[in-house]
Amino acid sequence: MGILNPAALPLLTLLGILVLIYLRERWRQRIEVPSLLFWHAVPEDKARIRRFLPDLLFFAQALLLLLLIGGLLRPYRSQTVTETHGNRHILVIDASASMQAREGRSSRFDLALDEAKQVMQSLGPLDESMVISISTRPQIVSGLTSDHLLVLHLLEMLQPVDTSTNLDLGVELALAQRGRDGRRGQVHVFTDLPRSTLSLPQEQVQELVYHRVGKNDDNVALAAFHLYQNPFQTYSQAQAYMLVRNYASRPKKGTLTLQLDNKSVFQKEFTLAAREAASFSMKGFEHAGKLTAKIEPSDALALDNQALSWLAERSLRRLVVVSPVKTLHEELTRVSESIPGLAITAITPEEFFSTRLNPQDVALFHQFVPSATVAVNSLYVFPPPNNPLFPVIAEAADLSILDWRQEHDLLRNLRYVEALPLKKARVLALPPWAQVLISSRTKTSEVPLALTGEKDGHRVVCLAFDLNKGNLTNSDNLTLLLLFLNTLRWLLPPDPAIPQLVSTGEAFFLPPGTAPDSLRLRPPRGEEQTLETDTVEVDQIGEYRLDGSRYRTILYANLFDEAESDIARREEGATKVAPVTKLPTAPQELTRRVPREFGRPLYYGAALVLLLEWLYAMWRYSRMRTA
Amino acid sequence: MALTDFTFFRQLDRLRLRIRTARGHRPGETLIPRATQAWGVEFESYKEYVPGDDFRYVDWNAVGRLDQLVVRTFTAEREIPVHIFLDTSASMGAPVVDQKFVFATDLVSALGYVVLNNNDPLHLVALAAPKPGQAPFRPAPLLRHRSQFARLPGFLHTLTPGGKTYLRETVRAYIEQTREPGVATVVSDFLVEPAQYEGALTLLQARGYEVRAVHIIGAAELAPERLFRRGKLYDVEEQKERWVSLNRSHLQQYQEALQTHLDALQQFCHRHQILYSRVTTDTPLAQIMTEQFTRAGLLAFR
């Protein structure tokens, strides 16, 4: 016994209210008599009247109320039921890039689908099945169903994608689905990965029915394609690096071609020994444009034979320095002399309010924080007390750096972060939108020395320490210079005209404020479609085009994944194959306790009481009339 | 009482007022027992002829037997003024379930019909609580003939129960303005102290009225357990409250007090030769008129 809706329990106080109503009515109600002449002979009985003496009508109303509240409480009693079920079969199908490798005349994915269909055809009518496709993320293709024809149809519709795989996640999801409701079942895994790659507990791995497909190892891949060109370099200074790797167990030949706007600018034939790699580089490009690297070997997987990049033109960037100190301007001017493409505009805080900023600018505020939000990416150095952005708690001196986030782009190539000069610093309260990049520590709390974050759609960096004269140009403070340059690079907004590089399997997020409905997405393969969310799931290699009235961009999606390219997938370590459990065929009988609600009969009871009350009232009325 | 209930009116047509002591001066149709006149319909007695008597009424057979001139005399037929006093105090309207006032107006209508059917003048007086600057009663227009009966219900419908009962004061005020006594019928619940009703009835008798008391009592007054078990009683006239819990002993105490009151009223009427009739609201009106009132001597069959 129990109740499903305890929220209705407070309604029981209505019974108390009913009693109060009765007492009040009795106190208020008076019976008109022609005279008290004869009633003086009867002793007055105030005390007895004041007592709560319920009558039949009160009991009927209280019962009615109790029945209604009882119905609302949704009471239930547990009942044991026995149900006959078929077995569950969860089919996990690897749809990653390596499954597109050719095996004879068909692909590994087709072989996996054929085996999955055979499993489906062997199921009994009561059996339930579910299909999970796994690539970077698992996707439930069909929920648990006994409609085998529907599942077969969905299997036919399934397509592989150009991403890596996360088989563990898919198998964990399948195991969780299998054990739901205490049912028996089996998880079938269709993949080209060896069983040993699963990092699940051994007993769980042994429970799997493993269908491994593919034996071919014949693959040569473009393992990396890097274009080194920072924002201040022009295309002629850029350098392209290509790494070609042979994953086959025999030597392979091929040709590497580099095209700039579909015109070949570099071509080289190569011969690679078994499981060997070779790198190639090129520089001295004559113009900006789309770079396509291609290898043309005769192998089983074509996906990893091509990669895209973009060779950009150098655009002039402006750093607006707002500082009350002239020495910083002079120092930055000296730094900018060695950075072609960077212009410095130095102004005082008073002049800042009349200066117009372009979206491509970067602002540097030294000992000054404007009261209004700045619509460009900004670097704040040594913010003054009582500023609106970074509340200053205290002044500090001679702090030592104790912690920093090594993986952040701002600290790239910085080996001696603790060498930053920290003579004067301010202890800042961490704003909710910011994260600590470099920190020190007092006895009681962490002291942030550098903060990064994104506010109102713009990147913000704040250095809590001051820059002294010669800090940036002194060769002793190389760490600070590198940090400054890294910060500048991180703050420079990307040129919207330049395509963005993404890896397959990643999600591309639209900038804040961009309405997805107005955007048309044209993927590398497939038809153009309207974007429904603010995210683009990149699962194909090639060029994605996003076109809208206010926002447009191009994405270059590449696949550089050794795990996918190495299609040989040798079993490592213990190669002992666990015995495959046979398919359970007999239907299983499950006993479980289910709650049986009996709130509805209470409502019927309430209606009956109401009817009886009405009949009683009618009877009393007619009796009074007769009297 | 519905004016369209012809069956009931046919029953009333058979009834007439029964007069005992009342006398009237105008010739009429009501027979006055023990009163004679020289002409008429109903033979009453003989008397010795005196000059001036109508020769047509000399009984020649009696002259032959007695050798003396005797003339026949007849029962006097007079017009008897009938005064009906209707109590309109608040007690007549309570308890509501008894419909005492409606019952009383119906009863007065029926009595009025009988009176007018005999072509006696009807003075209907509604007794109300005295108010400053106003008469303590409200008389209906004088009705003299059955054809004027239709005006009676119109007057009765204008009455509503309200105020305290001042029987003695209101009756006194009325008879001081009236010079012709006759039959006085007081229709009331008599829920007043004995001094009140005794004063009123005695006063009427002293002024030469033939007095009758029609006591209306509600069914719920006789059996208050129909009305409530526990509760706050409210006296509609005195506007006082009393908490009463009605158990068997309390009920018995109430009924004893009620019976004492009823007995006192009845004995007073008996002692003073006042015709008294007690009617309950659950008794059919026709039964009251044809059985109860004829048995009590208020009415007689023609």
The ipTM value here is: 0.85
Is residue B128 within 8 Å of residue B137, measured between CB atoms?
yes
Distance from CA of B9 to the nearest CA of A (A): 25
pLDDT at A579: 45
Q: Taking CA atoms, what residue in B is nearest to A34?
A: B91
Q: Taking CA atoms, what residue in A is nearest to B240?
A: A36
Phi, psi dihedrals of residue B297, rounded to the nearest 5°: 90, 10
pLDDT band at A578 (very low <50, low <70, confident <90, very high): very low
Is residue A294 within 8 Å of residue A91, measured between CB atoms?
no
Instruction: Reply yes or no on whether the pLDDT at A574 is more than 50.
Output: no
What is the percentage of chain A residues whose pLDDT exceeds 90? 45
Per-residue pLDDT tens digits for A4-40: 889 999 999 999 999 888 888 777 778 899 999 899 8
Give CA separation, A530 vs A129, A157, A429, A508, in Å: 33, 21, 44, 15
- Angle at which helices A148-157 and A108-121 pack, to 10 degrees? 180
What is the percentage of chain A residues whose pLDDT exceeds 70? 96
The mean of the pLDDT values for chain B is 89
Helix ranges (H only) for A364-477 are: none
pLDDT at A50: 65
Distance from CA of B227 to the nearest CA of A (A): 8
CB contact under 8 A, B231 and A31: yes
Q: Which residues of B touch A34 (CB under 8 A)?
A: 90-92, 94-95, 100, 189, 191, 218, 221, 235-237
Q: Which of B92, B219, B232 sits opposite A31 (nearest CB)?
A: B232
Instruction: Reply yes or no on whether the pLDDT at B3 is more than 60.
Output: no
CB contact under 8 A, B256 and A40: no
Q: Which of B237, B243, B256 sits opposite A49 (nearest CB)?
A: B243
Taking the Cβ of residue A51 and every Cβ of chain B, the question of whether any pair is shorter than 8 Å is answered with: no
Instruction: Reply yes or no on whether the pLDDT at A575 is more than 50.
Output: no
Q: Whole-angstrom Cα distance, residue A143 to residue A277?
A: 44
pLDDT band at B165 (very low <50, low <70, confident <90, very high): confident
Q: Is A412 helix (H, G, I), strand (E, B) or coil?
A: coil
Give CA separation, A508 vs A256, A503, A533, A555, in Å: 29, 10, 11, 9
Q: Which residues of A touch B240 (CB under 8 A)?
A: 36
Instruction: Reply yes or no on whether the pLDDT at A581 is more than 80.
Output: no
- Greater model confidence, A540 or B4: A540
Residue range A414-443: mean pLDDT, rounded = 85
Distance from CA of A49 to the nearest CA of B (A): 7
* All residues at 6 or more sequence positions from A305 whose CB lies less than 8 Å from its CB, including other chains: A220, A221, A222, A294, A295, A296, A297, A299
Q: Which residues of B touch A33 (CB under 8 A)?
A: 94-95, 221, 224, 227, 233-236
Give CA separation, A547 vs A520, A543, A544, in Å: 5, 13, 10
CB contact under 8 A, A45 and B245: yes
Per-residue pLDDT tens digits for A351-382: 888 788 888 889 999 999 998 888 899 999 99
**Two tokens, residue A363:** 């602002």
Taking the Cβ of residue A25 and every Cβ of chain B, the question of whether any pair is shorter than 8 Å is answered with: no
pLDDT at A570: 62
Beta bridge partners of A132: A92, A140
Distance from CA of B169 to the nearest CA of A (A): 19
Taking the Cβ of residue A56 and every Cβ of chain B, the question of whether any pair is shorter than 8 Å is answered with: no
Give CA separation, B51 vs B55, B58, B64, B71, in Å: 9, 12, 19, 11
Give CA separation, A171 vs A179, A189, A194, A200, A305, in Å: 12, 8, 14, 9, 30
CB contact under 8 A, A49 and B261: no
Q: Whole-angstrom Cα distance, residue B229 to residue A56?
A: 13
Taking one residue from A and the other from B, the number of pairs with CB-CB distance under 8 angstroms is 102
Least confident of A567-576, B26-35, B172-181: A567-576
Taking the Cβ of residue A4 and every Cβ of chain B, the question of whether any pair is shorter than 8 Å is answered with: no
pLDDT at A48: 63
- Greater model confidence, B24 or B7: B7
pLDDT at B197: 94
Q: Which residues of B touch A41 (CB under 8 A)?
A: 253-254, 256-257
**Two tokens, residue B11:** 């029953």
pLDDT band at B231 (very low <50, low <70, confident <90, very high): confident
Q: How many alpha carbons fall within 13 Å on the CB side of residue A334?
A: 12
Is residue A343 within 8 Å of residue A314, measured between CB atoms?
no
Instruction: Reply yes or no on whether the pLDDT at A330 is more than 50.
Output: yes
Q: Which of B94, B226, B253 sits opposite A33 (nearest CB)?
A: B94
Instruction: Reply yes or no on whether the pLDDT at A580 is more than 50.
Output: no
Q: Whole-angstrom Cα distance, residue B8 to residue B17?
A: 17
**Two tokens, residue A492:** 């420079």
* All residues at 6 or more sequence positions from B38 whose CB lies less than 8 Å from its CB, including other chains: B53, B54, B57, B71, B73, B74
pLDDT at A369: 92
Q: Which of B219, B235, B243 sits opposite A33 (nearest CB)?
A: B235
CB contact under 8 A, A34 and B221: yes
Instruction: Reply yes or no on whether the pLDDT at A572 is more than 60.
Output: no
Give CA separation, A379 vs A64, A372, A434, A448, B211, in Å: 72, 15, 13, 15, 119
Question: What DSSP string describes B33-62?
Answer: EEEEESS-SSEEEEEE--TTS-GGGB-HHH
Instruction: Reply yes or no on whether the pLDDT at A443 is more than 80.
Output: no
Q: Whole-angstrom Cα distance, residue A505 to residue A515?
A: 23
Is residue B233 within 8 Å of residue A39, measured between CB atoms?
yes
Phi, psi dihedrals of residue A135, rounded to the nearest 5°: -130, -115
Sign of the CA dihedral with A153 first, then A155, A156, and A161 last: positive
**Helix or strand (DSSP H, E) at A327:** helix A326-337
Instruction: Reply yes or no on whether the pLDDT at A255 is more than 70.
Output: yes
Helix ranges (H only) for A163-301 are: 167-178, 202-207
Q: Which residues of B touch A35 (CB under 8 A)?
A: 91, 191, 235, 237-238
Per-residue pLDDT tens digits for A122-174: 888 888 899 999 999 999 999 999 999 999 999 999 999 999 999 999 999 99
CB contact under 8 A, B241 and A35: no
Q: Which of A29, A45, A627 sits opposite B226 (nearest CB)?
A: A627
Distance from CA of B130 to the nearest CA of A (A): 19
Instruction: Reply yes or no on whether the pLDDT at A616 is more than 50.
Output: yes
pLDDT at A467: 80
Is residue A496 within 8 Å of residue A521, measured between CB atoms?
no
Strands A220-228 and A239-246: antiparallel
Distance of CA B292 to the CA centre of its chain: 13
Q: What domains can be seen in chain A, in order of their start residue?
A: 2-79+597-626 (no CATH), 87-214+569-586 (3.40.50.410), 220-314+561-565 (2.60.40.10), 322-491 (3.40.50)
**Superfamily per CATH, domain B6-23+79-301:** von Willebrand factor, type A domain (3.40.50.410)
Q: Which of A37, A38, A53 sits opposite B230 (nearest CB)?
A: A53
Residue range A110-115: mean pLDDT, rounded = 94
CB contact under 8 A, A31 and B237: no
Length of chain B measured in residues: 302
CB contact under 8 A, B95 and A34: yes
Q: Whole-angstrom Cα distance, residue A193 to residue A212?
A: 7
Residue range B68-94: mean pLDDT, rounded = 91
pLDDT at A555: 94
Interface of B with A (CB under 8 A): 90-92, 94-97, 100, 189, 191, 193, 218-221, 224, 226-228, 230-238, 240-246, 250, 253-254, 256-258, 261, 282
pLDDT band at B1 (very low <50, low <70, confident <90, very high): low
Taking 3-state DSSP, the helix, strand and coil percentages for chain A, each rounded to the nearest 5, stand at 30, 35, 40
Q: Where along chain B do its domains lie?
A: 6-23+79-301, 27-78
Q: Whole-angstrom Cα distance, residue B242 to residue B90?
A: 18
Burial of A406 (0-12, 13-18, 19+ CB in 10 A): exposed
The mean of the pLDDT values for chain A is 87
**Helix or strand (DSSP H, E) at B266:** helix B248-271
Per-residue pLDDT tens digits for A287-315: 999 999 999 988 899 999 999 999 988 87
A26, A28, A39: best mutation site toward chain B, by most B Cβ within 10 Å? A39
CB contact under 8 A, B236 and A33: yes
- Least Cα distance to A487 among A479, A499, A477, A497 occurs for A479
Distance from CA of A622 to the nearest CA of B (A): 12
